[in-house]
Amino acid sequence: MNYDRIWQKIITPGEKIEYQFSVGNRYLLFYWLLWVLISIGSIVVYRSPLVPLLLFLGATFFYAFYFKIANAYAFTDHRVLVHRGWLSTNLVSIDYDKITNVTVEEPFFTKIFTGTGSLTISTAGSIDGGVQLKHISKPYQLKQILDNLMTKYRVNSSNKY
């Protein structure tokens, strides 16, 4: 998915988006299929197609559209951008020089069934443990990309002075 419309409002002149991503496709497919099965099973309980249809349409909207658009992440050449929400939104911007720790988690269930994990980005003075990017594909690969960008940023920043 292309998030250029979101990032154009946020990035500064000369800043470049290096990598953008969202929630993993396998995660979305797994939970969408789970809700499809629940919808089908609810036909027996409700004996009417209305409730199963509403469950199916709700799950399709949530997992095929909303979840992907409401969780947009980007690594620029200067910072990490976390954009959450659709109609009402929340933006977190973390400069690379403020990042103190990056943690990867791949719990057994999510790793096996959805192929996803989470990346937690901690900053100095963060009380709540940092910003967590949940249900992302290949979190170790994303950590490597982030580490490379932070190293590149630090080298470029030290050469300016």
Show the domains of the chain with their CATH numbers: 17-155 (2.30.29.30)
d(CA 86, CA 64): 14
- Fill in the amino acid letter for 37: L
- With a CB cutoff of 8 Å and minimum separation 6, the contacts of 82 are 72, 73, 91, 92, 93, 94, 131, 133
pTM for the full predicted model: 0.89
d(CA 3, CA 21): 9
pLDDT at 160 over 70: no
- Which residue do the tokens 């797994």 mark? 30
Structure tokens at 155: 């080298």
Averaged confidence pLDDT in the chain: 92
- Tens-digit pLDDT profile for residues 105-137: 999 999 999 999 999 999 987 777 789 999 999
- Which residue do the tokens 């969202």 mark? 22
- Tens-digit pLDDT profile for residues 28-74: 999 999 999 999 999 888 888 898 999 999 999 999 899 999 999 99
Least Cα distance to 143 among 68, 73, 93 occurs for: 73
d(CA 112, CA 47): 35
* Mean pLDDT along residues 139-160: 90
pLDDT at 161 over 70: no
